[in-house]
Structure 1
Amino acid sequence: MTDNELTQRADTQAWPLPSFYFKVSISNVGDISCSEVSGLETEYEEITYRAGDTPVFTKLKMPGLRKAGDLTIKQGISKDNKAVLDWVDQVKQNIIQRETMTVSLLDESGNPVQTWEAVNAWPKKLTREKIKANENAYSFETLVIAHEGVYVK
């Protein structure tokens, strides 16, 4: 095969996208620079049922209500994360500002290829990692966000 044929063949193959190029946005808060996002999952409760007159000796399994787990964001502490801290402080003052959170997986050009949207999101927990004087490392914090469902757009 020539180099041109190899290049054409490589262009037609579907390669999985790397997970390190993504964007996180929260409505009315802004974009968040973070190093890790987890909890982008959808799960349904299971309902089992067996009619008494069925000749099959197993239960039927049907989907029930959708479960909404928590999203976890790990980000480096910086001077520019005031909007996120203000959002967390509003919960402390019993003013829960529910927002739409969007996580987009980006291609090489920075265009979103797949987008997840968490609706009615609010900050549930903010944890700052330990700070040690004899370590040469960045300072991170973890933000846990409650929501009412993640949907793929």
Structure 2
Amino acid sequence: MPKSTENAEGATWPLPKFRFEVDLGDELKGISFQEVSGMDVESQIIEYRNSNTPLFSSQKMPGIAKFGNVTMKRGVFVNDNSFWDWHSQFKMNSIKRRTIVIKLLDEDGNITMQWTLSNAWPTKITSTDLKSDANEIAIDTIEIAHEQLIISNGK
């Protein structure tokens, strides 16, 4: 793959998605995950019909934005309970919210795209399944709720 995003004819290459890292707040930076999914946004639809409209139908307008939960999967490491420690911080209906940054990197480790999740907190943690005849690594899954998704290109 060429170092540049353009080949000799000037055509551009799509970005590969296999090299990325995640910052889970100030104390947890550059964490490697096996998979990150669910970075989506949806606008609710408001249907409205003005009383003097000659058309016998409603107009559709964009409403409140709704952000899907982001799911992250990573390998289990000895003495690393960072997901569980964060989730256990629930106190009287409140939790420490974080800004999470997901960075897509190029072959030199430079940021090509970045997704920032604002006011993020864990809603669900799923520990690995255990099988005596498996030939796989142990994987933990964390589901993150957030209130805003900001996408930026490079730095």
TM-score normalised by length of structure 2: 0.84
Letter in 2 for 1:17: L
How far apart are residue 148 of structure 1 and its match? 0.8
Q: Distance in 2 between matches of 1:22 and 1:88?
A: 24
Q: Distance in 1 between matches of 2:25 and 2:15?
A: 26
> Any idea what SS the aligned residue of 1:8 has?
coil
Residues 4-83 of structure 1 mapped to structure 2, 5 A cutoff: 8-9=8-9, 12-31=10-29, 32-79=31-78, 81-83=80-82
Letter in 1 for 2:48: Y
1:29–1:83 contact (8 Å) kept in structure 2: no
Give CA deviations for 1:23-77 in whole Å, capped at 9, x if unaligned. Answer: 1111134132211111111111110111121122332111111112211001111
Specify whether residues 62 and 114 from structure 1 end up closer, same or farther in structure 2 by C-alpha distance, changes over 3 A only: same
Q: Distance in 2 between matches of 1:82 and 1:130?
A: 17
Q: Unpaired segments of 5 or more residues in structure 2?
A: 1-6
How far apart are residue 138 of structure 1 and its match? 0.7
How far apart are residue 80 of structure 1 and its match? 6.0
Residues 134-149 of structure 1 mapped to structure 2, 5 A cutoff: 134-149=133-148
Specify whether residues 54 and 93 from structure 1 end up closer, same or farther in structure 2 by C-alpha distance, changes over 3 A only: closer
2:83–2:125 contact (8 Å) kept in structure 1: no
Letter in 1 for 2:21: K
> Any idea what SS the aligned residue of 2:15 has?
coil
Which of 14-23 and 27-36 deviates more? 27-36
Q: Distance in 1 between matches of 2:77 and 2:16?
A: 26
The number of residues matched between the two structures is 145
Q: Distance in 2 between matches of 1:87 and 1:29?
A: 12
Letter in 1 for 2:28: G
What value does the CA root-mean-square deviation take over the aligned residues? 1.9
Identical residues among aligned pairs (%): 39
Residues 67-146 of structure 1 mapped to structure 2, 5 A cutoff: 67-79=66-78, 81-91=80-90, 96-146=95-145
How far apart are residue 94 of structure 1 and its match? 5.9
Q: Unpaired segments of 5 or more residues in structure 1?
A: 1-6
TM-score normalised by length of structure 1: 0.85
Q: Distance in 1 between matches of 2:150 and 2:79?
A: 29
Q: Distance in 2 between matches of 1:130 and 1:23?
A: 24
Flag the structure with larger Rg.
1
